[in-house]
Structure formats: structure tokens, C-alpha cells
Structure 1
Amino acid sequence: MLKQRILTALAIIVPVFLLIAFAPSGLVAGFVLLVIALGAFEWARLGSFEGQGARVAFAVLVLAVPAGLLLIWGDAGWTGFHAWVLALGVVWWGLVFLGLPAYRPGLGARRWGRWLLRGAAFPTLAPAALALIWLHDSAPMLVIYLILLVAAADTGAFFIGRRFGRSPLAPDISPGKTREGLLGALAATLPVALIGAWAFGLQAMDALVFVLLGIVVALVSVAGDLQESVLKREAGAKDSGMLLPGHGGILDRVDSLTAAAPVFAAGLLWTALFAQGG
């Protein structure tokens, strides 16, 4: 299984990084929206929508939010309406972060709980799409940095948790995740954030803000992972799909990124560390 995961990861990450680094912004935006649409389709399946037609309709509805905002406001929206969408994304993940400890299995069995899980796709996926597109517009390397940061957090959590994990982080959601793994995630992101600050040529105070933002982003990315775990647990599914051998579905790969992207983008906007087109 580990070998399959590595091979699939390599097959994905090389072309994706090349696309991010060299493709024009419009093509990258189209790719991001495609990923969001596929993720929304998987979300519909986990949300107990019956039939392909209902799932496709749900995916189109979710996709219409970021696509519509880009179509209507375009680049002019980054300092206005799009920024508010990113802010709503940050608020959403703050609520998720606070609400996860209160979760108990059986949420999806209640009608209101089932619709809550379904509706969560909108504040999860739409701000993430806009954030990734804005980051690429600002500097393609910011997207690559964010992916590496989240990957470092996931890797640190996995290996440290596997070796030293003793204290469950969220036993009702994902029994395998531990507090030691969380500390491992934060520790693994620190060198990536430091290298990123150096690579972007930030001065001392800006570098400090950038590193602290990276740690916050890594912490929030864990909430993205746990939120998807709730969705899968309520659906009785091990993976969100079967599109990626050894990894599961699209959501299984981007769950942490959906939380990290709007927080990172909003942090850069609010601190003015990077200007669009810089």
C-alpha cells in the first residue's frame, strides 16, 4: 500500500507542479475548478445523495459559487468581494476548529445533521478554490510552497504519530490521530516555513510573520483532515472515492489543503506580505 501511495503521489505531483509553475493563470484556474468539481461530486456521494444525476447537480451547484464570482468580478474582486469570501472561509474554519471537539457519531442520522454535512461543502470548497487561484495570480511559487507546507504537516503527523502516538486527538472522529502526531505536524512545518521565508527574500520581521502564519496554517489544515473524517465516518466510507490508487479520492488528497488555502491567502492579504502580481 505504501509503495502504491508513493507511486501515485509522484505521478500526480510532478505534472501538477509543472502546471502551477509554468501554465498561465487561466489554465491553472480551470484545473483548480475541475478539482473542486470532482471533490464536490465525492462530497455528494458521502452526503447520501442518491443517483448520479443528483450528485452531478450538487457538484455543479458548489462549483457555480467560485466560478460565478470569478466570472462576474474577475481580478477586480480580489480586494473586494473575493476577499470577503476568503474571510468567510477563515471564519468557517474557526467554527469547525471549535466545533470538532463537540462531535459525536450519529450526526448524519439526524435530518438537520445530514443537511449540515452536505451544506459544509460550500464554505469548504468555494473559498479554497478562490484562495488557490488568487495565490497563483500573486505568485505561482506560493501555491507550491503551500502544498509543500501541508504535505510536511501530513507527513510529520503520520510518522511521529505512528512512532510516538499515545494520546488520541479526536477518538470519536479518527482514532488513529494523536496529539503527538499534531506536535509532529507543527514541528515538520517549521523548517519548511523558514526555508520559504528565506526563498521569498523576506526581511526579519516579515519572515517572522510568514513563519507564524505557516504554523497557524498547518494547525488549521488538521481541521480540514478531521472534517473530512467526520464526513466519511457518517457515510460509513473508508475513502472519499477510488480515483487515486493508494490514496482514495480527490477529497482524501485535498482535505487539508481546503482548510489551509483560505487561511494562508487571507493571512497574506491582511499582512500585505505579497501583492497580487508580485
Structure 2
Amino acid sequence: MLRQRVVTAIAVIVPVFLLIAFAPSGVVAGFVLLVVALGAFEWARLGRFATKGTRAAFAVLVLAVPASLLLAWGGAGWTEMHAWVLWLGVVWWGLVFVGLPTYRPGLGAGTWGRWLLRGAAFPTLAPAALALVWLHASAPMLVIYLLLLVAAADTGAFVVGRRFGRSKLAPDISPGKTREGLLGTLAATVPVALVGAWGFGLLAMDALVFVLLGIVVALVSVAGDLQESVLKREAGAKDSGALLPGHGGILDRVDSLTAAAPVFAAGLLWTALFPQGGG
């Protein structure tokens, strides 16, 4: 299993990083929309749409939101129209943070709860997709940095939680996650954020803001992971899919990123750390 995970990771990570680093923004946008479509299809399965046809229709509906906005706004940069979608994502993840502690198993048993879980796909996937496209248009290295930051946060939580984890973080959602693991997230995030601040050539005060933003983004990424855990728990599924051998599905790999991307992009917009990109 470990060998399969490593082989799959290399086969996916290398092409994705090369795509982000060297492909034009239009190609990257197409790739992001493909990921959204695949993730939405998996979401439909977890949302208990019975047939492949209804799952595909749901995926198209979810995909239509970021696709139509990208077509309508074209290659424009950080305009006010873009900003409100990013802030919608921030508000959504604020609501998720408030709602997660109140979760109890069985949410999806009723009609209202089931449609709430299904509808969550829209504010989760659309702002994340648009944030990634705009970050790439601004500077491809911002996307690569974000991916490394989220990966470090996940790895830190896993390693520290497995070695020192005692106190459950959200036992009703994901029994394996611990408060100690959350500290591991912070421990792994700070060095990556510091290296990022140095790599982007930020001065002292801007670097401090950038590191603090990285910490916030890493903590928010945990909410993305937990939200998907709720979906899988309600569906009685271990993984969101089987597209990536040894890793599960698309959502299993991008769950943290869906929360991190809009918060990171909105944070950069708010702090004005980088010029507003476009084109």
C-alpha cells in the first residue's frame, strides 16, 4: 500500500507542479475546472445521488458556477467582482468552523440535512477554483507555495498526531485527528511560511504578515479536511472515490486546499502583499 501511495503521488505531483510552473493561465484554468468536475461527481456520490446520470448532472451544475464566472470575467485580475467570490468563500469557511463543533452523526439521514450536504459543494468548490486561477494569473509560484503549505500542514498533523496524539480534536467527525496533531500543523507551517516570505523577497513587516496569513490558512485547511470527513461519514464511505490508487479520490486530495485557497487569496487581496495580477 505504501509503495502504491508513493508511486501515485509521484505520478500526480510532478506533472501538476510542471503544469503550474510553465503552462499559461488558460491551461491551468482548464485543469482546475477538470478537478472541480471530478470532485463534484465524487461529492454527488457521497451525497447519495443514486445514478451516474444524476451525479453527472450535479457535477455539471457545480462546474457551471466557476466556469461561467471565468468566461464572464475573462482574464481580469483582482477586481471587485472577483473579490466578492473570494470573500464568499471566507464567509463560508467561517460558517463551517462554527458548524463543525455542533455536528452529530445522522445529519444526512433527513431530507434537509442531505440537501445541506449536497449544496455545500457550491460554496466549497467554486471559490476555491476561482482563487487558484487568479493566484496563478498573479504569480504561478503563489499556487506552488500554497500547495506546499497545505501539504506541510497535513504532514505535520499526521506525524505529530500519530506519535503524540492523545486528545481527540473532533471525535464525532474524524476520530484519528487530535489536538496534538493540530500543533503539528502549526509546527510544520511556520518554516514553510518563513521560506516562502524569503523566497518572495518580502521585507520584515510584510514577511511577518505573510507568515501569520500562512498560519491562518493552515488552520482553515483543517476545516476543509473535516468537512469532507463529515460527507464520508454520512455516506458510510472510507474514501471519496478510487481514482488515485492508494490515495482515494480527488476530494481526498484537495479537501484541505478547497478551504485554504480562497482564504489565502482573500488574505493577499486584503493585505496587498502582492500586486494585483491578471491576464
Are the aligned partners of 1:134 and 1:276 in contact in 2 as well (CA < 8 Å)? no
Query: What is aligned with 1:204?
Result: 204
Deviations 1:6-64 (A, max 9, x none): 22111111000000000000000000000011000000000001111111110010000
User: Helix, strand or coil: the match of 2:177?
Assistant: strand
Distance 1:80 1:166 in 2: 45
Are the aligned partners of 1:93 and 1:259 in contact in 2 as well (CA < 8 Å)? yes
Query: What is aligned with 1:52?
Result: 52
Are the aligned partners of 1:77 and 1:83 in contact in 2 as well (CA < 8 Å)? no
User: Helix, strand or coil: the match of 1:75?
Assistant: coil
Distance 2:98 2:154 in 1: 21
Are the aligned partners of 1:62 and 1:122 in contact in 2 as well (CA < 8 Å)? yes
Unaligned runs of 5+ in 2: none
Query: What is aligned with 1:164?
Result: 164
Query: What is aligned with 1:265?
Result: 265
Query: What is aligned with 1:127?
Result: 127
Deviations 1:88-120 (A, max 9, x none): 000000110111000000000011000000000
Shift in Å, 1:77: 6.5
Structure 2 residue 201 is matched with structure 1 residue 192: no
User: Helix, strand or coil: the match of 1:175?
Assistant: strand
Query: What is aligned with 2:230?
Result: 230
TM-score normalised to the size of structure 1? 0.98
Distance 2:20 2:182 in 1: 29
Distance 1:56 1:191 in 2: 41
Counterparts in 2 of 1:243-258, with a 5 A limit? 243-258=243-258
Are the aligned partners of 2:128 and 2:258 in contact in 1 as well (CA < 8 Å)? yes
TM-score normalised to the size of structure 2? 0.98
Query: What is aligned with 1:179?
Result: 179
Distance 2:16 2:276 in 1: 22
Alignment RMSD, CA only? 0.9
Are the aligned partners of 1:139 and 1:276 in contact in 2 as well (CA < 8 Å)? no
Aligned pairs, number = 278
Query: What is aligned with 1:150?
Result: 150
Distance 1:124 1:220 in 2: 13
User: Helix, strand or coil: the match of 1:76?
Assistant: coil
Amino acid across the alignment from 1:173: I
Amino acid across the alignment from 1:206: D
Distance 1:25 1:188 in 2: 30
Distance 1:245 1:145 in 2: 25
Distance 1:75 1:98 in 2: 34
Distance 1:6 1:214 in 2: 27
Amino acid across the alignment from 2:213: L
Are the aligned partners of 1:42 and 1:241 in contact in 2 as well (CA < 8 Å)? yes
Deviations 1:162-186 (A, max 9, x none): 0000000000000000000010011
Are the aligned partners of 2:65 and 2:126 in contact in 1 as well (CA < 8 Å)? yes
